[in-house]
Amino acid sequence: MYRHRGKDKPQVVRVADRLVMSFDEIRVQSEMRLDAPDELALGYTRTMMGFLLYRPRPLRIAMIGLGGGSMPKYCYATLPEADITVVEINPDVIALRARFFVPEDDARFRVLCEDGAAFVARMHNQFDVLVVDGFTETGQPPVLSTQHFYNQCRECLTEPGVMVVNLPDSPQTYEPLFTRIKYSFEHQALMIVAEDSGNRIVFAGKADILNCADEQLQARAAALSAHASLKLLRTAQMLGYAQARAQRVDDSNWR
């Protein structure tokens, strides 16, 4: 969730053992298990947490879009060394943080009510990880989709750093956006299908951070499964396939 135009009032309903946030009756924006509020209920959020395959112990994380706070809560609970900044433009979303058990602001966690694009623009070499998950009831906000925005996302990352972006499941939308991300990140970008949905999740990095051997990705996925109960084996496999495809395209372009 991202752009606030006054009418973007989030709705919260209980469905069985889950609390669901949405802007309409069709698209779920966030979901929380009431018996395990810190767990990642939606598959796409688990896929996005694949950034840990590249930065297993990030020290500074920024997230654009709060929603029900699934990823911020998970990172706060499982990455005790990480400093986490969440940026959300819609105050009505932030007003629901207590219902979704989003932690109160403290020395290493904060939620800012401001424009995510403006926030990124004033940062330089600040974050090990940048998570971009900004949606409205109509889809991807244009301000979070421009070439200029992705250029600034790269600049706000440390070296090596990684950005992960949630894109809609429409090829007419995700294909041009992936092209922009690849351009901004000098083709250091991989796109995979999210778990349990058709959304595309893009990982982009600096300083060849994405150039990991399959064995290394698999080993990190196994370690995370053992220590953080985060099942990333599928994500590691898909990233390995995406890396192999990208390498084949690069090789063919040099022939």
Residues with Cβ within 8 Å of residue 11, at least 6 apart in sequence: 21, 22, 23, 24
d(CA 243, CA 217): 11
- pLDDT by residue (tens digit) across 22-80? 876 556 778 999 999 999 999 999 999 999 999 999 999 999 999 999 999 999 999 99
Q: Which residues pair with 193 in a beta bridge?
A: 200
pLDDT score at 138: 63
Is pTM beyond 0.85 here?
yes
106-129: per-residue pLDDT in tens? 999 999 999 999 999 999 999 999
Q: Could you tell me the two tokens for 162? A: 């990684």
Using DSSP bridges, classify how beta strands 11-15 and 18-22 pair: parallel, antiparallel or unpaired: antiparallel
Which residue bears the tokens 């911020």?
A: 72
Which of 164, 32, 182, 176 shows the shortest CA–CA distance to 99? 32
Domain boundaries, the chain: 11-211
Any alpha helices (H) in 32-168, and if so which ranges? 43-48, 70-78, 91-94, 116-121, 147-156
| pLDDT of 164 strictly over 50 | yes
Assign a CATH topology to domain 11-211.
Answer: Rossmann fold (3.40.50)
What is the band of 249 on the pLDDT scale with cuts at 50, 70, 90? confident
Q: Does 83 participate in catalysis according to the annotation?
A: no
Give the β-pairing of 83-87 and 109-112: parallel
> What is the per-residue pLDDT for 50?
97
Among candidate residues 38, 92, 133, 169, the one labeled active-site is 133
Q: Check residue 115 and give its pLDDT.
A: 95
